[in-house]
Amino acid sequence: MTEDVLKIVEAELGAELSSGPVGGIVPTAPGPDIPALREQLAVLVSTGKAKHAIGVQLTHEQVKRLSDKDVEKYTKRYETYVGSKTTECWLDSFIFLVSKAVGMTLNIKDINAYQKELSNDYIINKELSNLAGNLSLKCGRLLAAANAALITTKHIDFNSHLERKVEQKLEEIPQQQSLTPAE
């Protein structure tokens, strides 16, 4: 899936670069900040994940020598990779939480099969992917805090919490009966 998205992004980037009179670039707005993009690639190289994220193993020296066009191309690949991973993470967390909430109110036969079916549903994936993309665009870095909250929520044992509340309520019932005056 990520490879298909990379091909589309590269095709769009190529179309953008070849647009204009006689295949030249029309200067309509300031271009991307190539030094900042190059720095972003250098950071990626430092993490050792360049091959996995953009499909090419680069060194710091190679990043310094990349043409502006290649810097843009690899940065777009990296943005696509990050977007894909972000969406994937949000989908997994959301489906897990929804299935937990539904499982607390309804008796689901096989919660794992239910989660898997939700994860594999095309319509759900499409709409949640759009939602995750919109949240990413609008909220930006706040997603890190929201994601931490989702991860924390995934690890809460709601069943034991609910059982304690039920036990407390049951303990209160005999006390309430003994407090009512006998007739």
What pLDDT is recorded for position 65? 93
Domain count, the chain: 1
Residue 142 placed within a domain: yes
Angle at the Cα of 43 from the Cα atoms of 148 and 142, rounded to 5 degrees = 25
Single-letter residue type at 18: S
Residue 172 placed within a domain: no
Residue 47 placed within a domain: yes
What pLDDT is recorded for position 16? 53
Residue 107 placed within a domain: yes
Q: List, in sequence order, every beta strand (DSSP E) within the chain.
A: none
How do the pLDDT tens digits run along the chain, 183 residues long? 556 655 665 666 565 555 544 455 555 567 888 899 999 999 999 999 989 889 989 999 999 999 999 999 999 999 888 888 888 888 888 888 888 888 888 888 888 899 999 999 999 989 988 888 787 777 777 877 887 887 887 787 766 656 666 677 667 776 555 555 555
What pLDDT is recorded for position 100? 84
Single-letter residue type at 69: K
Residue 161 placed within a domain: no
Q: 71 is in which domain, residue-wise?
A: 2-17+30-156
Residue 167 placed within a domain: no
Residue 182 placed within a domain: no
Residue 168 placed within a domain: no
